Amino acid sequence: MRLYDGGRAPNPRRVRIFLAEKGMQVPVEHIDLASLQHKSAEFTALNPLQRVPVLVLDDGTVITESIAICRYFEGLRPEPLLFGRGATEEALVEMWNRRVELNLYQAVSAVFRHLHPAMKDMESQVPEWGEACRKHALARMSWLDGELARRPYVAGDRFTIADITALVGIDWGRVTKTRIPPECTNLLRWHELVSGRPSARA
Amino acid sequence: MRLYDGGRAPNPRRVRIFLAEKGMQVPVEHIDLASLQHKSAEFTALNPLQRVPVLVLDDGTVITESIAICRYFEGLRPEPLLFGRGATEEALVEMWNRRVELNLYQAVSAVFRHLHPAMKDMESQVPEWGEACRKHALARMSWLDGELARRPYVAGDRFTIADITALVGIDWGRVTKTRIPPECTNLLRWHELVSGRPSARA
C-alpha cells in the first residue's frame, strides 16, 4: 500500500499519529500542498475532491478521508484499540470523535480557511464567518474543558481516535492564534498529557 | 432504551431510516424543537450540546450523534449490514458516508442555518456564507452525479449508511429550494431508487 501524505496539514497528521500509536509503518509519498500538487491531474485522478491524505491499497483500492483510513488500519491491527470494541464502546468513541470533530476541529478549520492569508487565493473567504467560528472554537474548548474535569481522555479512561482529532484540531488553532484559554485548566492538563505521547510528534 | 427524536429535523430522520432498514423498533420520546424543548434544562442534562437525536440505554448510558447511534444499532443487529464488514469495506463505507456528509449534507445544512428565516433568532446567521454553501451543495450534487454513473448506490452495489446520509441531506435541501439540478440524471435516478424504499418514509 501507499499513503499520500501532506506534510504539515492537519488531516494527514491525524493518520500519522494513528499509525504511530499502532506501531505501524506504511510507505509514504509526500504531496506538496504549497505547490498545489493536490490539484494536479495525477492526484485528482486518485481523489477528485483534491484532498490529502489518500491511501492506495495493493489491489488499487483508494481510501480517502482520514478517519476512514484510520478505521482501515484499526481493522488490520486492532491493538491498541483506538475505535473501541463492542456496540456500546464503539458508539461512544464514534460519538466523542464526532463531537470534537464537528464542533471543535471544524470550527478551528473554518477560522483558518476564512481568515488566514494563505487561504486567500484558494477559497472563497467569508471573514465574518471565520470570526464567528473563532468564537465557536473557544466556546467549544470551554465545553470540552468541563468534560475533561470528569475523566483523563476525551472518550473515557483510554486514549482513542477522539483524542487524536481533538489534539490535531487544537494544535491547528495555533496558526490562527485560536488557543486554549488559560482558565481551561482541565483541557490544558489533557493537552499536556496527550502532547507527551511519542505519537504526538508525528 | 429510549430514543429522543426530533420530528422533521434531518438528523433524527437518519436514525429512523436506519431503524426501519434494520426492522427494529425502539421506544421514542418526541422532543418539540419548535417550542425549544431541546434547550430545556432536562434535555440539556442529557445532551449539553442541545441536539437531537439522543439514545439513552437502560443502564443510563447516553449516546448522541446520529451516526454513533446508528453504529450502536448496527452492533446490536448486524443484518442487513449498513456500515460494511471487514477492514476494506468498513473503510470504504466510512469514506463515502464522510464524503457525502462533510461535503453535501453539511453544505445543505449551512444553507438552512444561514439563510432560512426559521433560524434567524437561533443562530448568528451569515447570509454570504449561506449563499456560498448553496453553490457548494449544487457543485457536490454534480460530483455525486458523476460517481453514481458508475454504481447503483453511493458506496457500491449495496444500500448503506452513506445512502441514508445523502438522501436525508438532499431532501433537506427542499426547505431552502436547494434541489438536484435536472441535468444530474444519475443522482435523480438514485434519489428515486432510495426514496422508493419503505424506510424513506420514516
Strands A2-5 and A28-30 turn out to be parallel
Is residue A122 predicted with pLDDT exceeding 90?
no
Residue B196: per-residue pLDDT: 98
CA nearest B81: which of B15, B193, B161, B2?
Answer: B161
Chain B residue closest in CA terms to A64: B95
**Residue of A14, A44, A46, A94 to mutate, interface with B, max B Cβ within 10 Å:** A94
Report the share of chain A in percent with pLDDT over 90.
94
Residue B121: per-residue pLDDT: 74
Give me the residue from A65, A92, A146 closest to B94, CB to CB: A65
Residue B165: per-residue pLDDT: 98
Cβ of residue B65 closer than 8 Å to a chain A Cβ: yes
Chain A residue closest in CA terms to B69: A91
Chain B residues closer than 8 Å to A102 by CB: 65
Question: CA B6, CA B1: separation in Å to the nearest integer?
Answer: 16
Cβ of residue B132 closer than 8 Å to a chain A Cβ: yes
Mean pLDDT of chain A: 96
Question: CA B130, CA B112: separation in Å to the nearest integer?
Answer: 7
Q: CB within 8 A of B96, min separation 6: which ones?
A: B154, B155, B160, B162
Instruction: Compute CA B110 distance to the chain's CA centroid, rounded to the nearest angstrom.
Output: 14
Cell numbers representing residue B148 in the block: 453514481
Cβ of residue B149 closer than 8 Å to a chain A Cβ: no
Contact B72 A49 (CB under 8 A): no
Give me the residue from A68, A98, A126 closest to B91, CB to CB: A68
Chain A residues closer than 8 Å to B98 by CB: 65, 67-68
Q: Is the ipTM of this complex over 0.90?
A: yes
Contact B90 A71 (CB under 8 A): yes
Give me the residue from A48, A69, A102 closest to B143, CB to CB: A48
Give me the residue from B63, B98, B146 closest to A91, CB to CB: B63
Residue A40: per-residue pLDDT: 95
Nearest-CA distance from B174 to chain A in Å? Answer: 23
Residue A118: per-residue pLDDT: 86
Strands A54-56 and A2-5 turn out to be antiparallel
Chain B residue closest in CA terms to A54: B95
Strands A2-5 and B62-64 turn out to be unpaired
**Structure confidence by residue, pLDDT tens digits, B122-164:** 778 999 999 999 999 999 999 999 999 999 999 999 999 999 9
CA-to-CA separations, A81 to A23, A74, A149, A169, B191, in angstroms, rounded: 12, 7, 23, 21, 37
Is residue A169 predicted with pLDDT exceeding 90?
yes
**Structure confidence by residue, pLDDT tens digits, A17-50:** 999 999 999 999 999 998 999 999 999 999 999 9
Residue B122: per-residue pLDDT: 72
Read off the pLDDT band of A119 (50, 70, 90): confident
Chain A residue closest in CA terms to B88: A72
Cβ of residue B76 closer than 8 Å to a chain A Cβ: yes
Chain B residue closest in CA terms to A71: B91
Judged by DSSP in three states, A133 sits in helix
Nearest-CA distance from B89 to chain A in Å? Answer: 9
The burial class, CB within 10 Å (0-12 / 13-18 / 19+), for A152 is: middle
**Structure confidence by residue, pLDDT tens digits, A53-88:** 999 999 999 999 999 999 999 999 999 999 999 999
Give me the residue from A63, A124, A143 closest to B48, CB to CB: A143
pLDDT lower than 70: segments of chain B: none
Nearest-CA distance from B138 to chain A in Å? Answer: 15
Contact A87 B75 (CB under 8 A): yes
Residue B124: per-residue pLDDT: 81
